[in-house]
Amino acid sequence: MNKNKIIILLCLLMIAGCGLFKSADDLYSEAEIKRNSGEPKVALTLLEKIIKKHADHEKAPDAQYMIAEIYYRDMGDFSKAIEEYGIIQANFPEAKQVPFSLFMQGFIYANALSDFDQARVHYKEFLEKYADHELATSVTFELKYLGKDIQEIPELKHLTK
């Protein structure tokens, strides 16, 4: 084998190893593994590849939701998480994750950032759009006790003892 063929073969192997030819499903599975093994930044890179290269794939909304979840749960970047949840609503308006993302925006505003006005806006929008959703009861509860201390909520008083 001549030198040029070896170089071309090595280049193809390197490109394939970088995930250029991986399917959305493969990238998503790898991202889950990386996230679960404590490598959220690597997971984010893989998920962003899905969004860029496979935007029409059924895994794209899942990938975007996991991006938001990583920023919220793994990295504690609440503002970025809110932004990423918003991208789900903008780019995948029919996706099953949209109501959950809207709920999470309200939840982060209320419980992590104590921005009760923004929480109220998101929660009210949720109830207007998804009154029959499984999270509607939780949203109603959140709105009822928005800004209250846990000791001021009768249903949760037992948790403070």
Tokens 């403070």 locate to: 160
The pTM (predicted TM-score) of the whole model is 0.84
pLDDT at 36: 97
Fold of 22-160: 1.25.40
Cα 136 to Cα 14, 34, 61, 114, 132: the distances in Å are 49, 33, 22, 21, 6
Strand stretches in the chain, DSSP E: none
Tell me, what DSSP letter sits at residue 23?
Answer: -
Q: What CA–CA distance (Å, rounded) separates 145 from 46? A: 39
- Provide the pLDDT for residue 3: 72
Q: Name the residue ranges covered by the structural domains of the chain.
A: 22-160
Predicted pLDDT of residue 10 = 62
Q: What share of the chain is helix, strand, coil (3-state, %, to 5)?
A: 75, 0, 25
pLDDT score for 149: 85
Residue 89 CA to residue 65 CA, distance in Å, equals 10
Among candidates 100, 155, 92, 148, which has minimal Cα distance to 122? Answer: 100
Question: Vertex 61, ends 55 and 66: CA angle to 5°?
Answer: 120
CB-CB contact of 39 with 9 (8 Å): no
- What confidence score (pLDDT) does residue 93 get? 97
- pLDDT per residue of the chain (161 residues) written in tens, 0 to 9: 577 666 666 655 555 555 557 899 999 999 999 999 999 999 999 999 999 999 999 999 999 999 999 999 999 999 999 999 999 999 999 999 999 999 999 999 999 999 999 999 999 999 999 999 999 999 999 999 999 888 888 888 777 76
Size (the chain), residues:
161
3 state SS of 45: helix
